[in-house]
Amino acid sequence: MIAYLSLYKIKPDVSSDEFEDMMSKARMQLLKVTEILTVRTGKRVNPDDDWPWFIYLEVESMDKLVIAQDDPNYIKFREDVVKPNISEQQSTAFEMEPRKDVKYS
């Protein structure tokens, strides 16, 4: 099982209402992707943290993650929500199965 975590910095011109809408769109659009098992999104609690927004996805494998990222719903979300509103992004994947060799993920 793969956990894929993306951290985002929001552009300064994005209003708080637009930001809330982005979080809703993340849940709605990404859950349409068959390979994505779980979607979590949230905003920072501490205003001093560098990354004000995150999206967490769970998929069965790295192959499924690649398939998910090629899905039209994922691409639409990236193009319509992420690219126009995000100034910086950092993403990483984690294997969640204990003792599983990550080369087989």
What digits encode the pLDDT tens for the residues 22-36?
Answer: 999 999 999 999 999
pLDDT at 103: 65
pLDDT at 97: 81
Strands 38-43, 86-95: pairing is unpaired
pTM of the model: 0.89
pLDDT at 105: 58
Nearest to 5 by CA among 42, 45, 46: 42
pLDDT at 15: 96
Q: Where are the domains of the chain?
A: 14-49+73-98
pLDDT at 100: 65
* Residue 6 to residue 19: CA distance in whole angstroms: 16
Averaged pLDDT, groups of 10, the chain, 105 residues long:
97 96 96 97 94 97 97 97 97 86 62
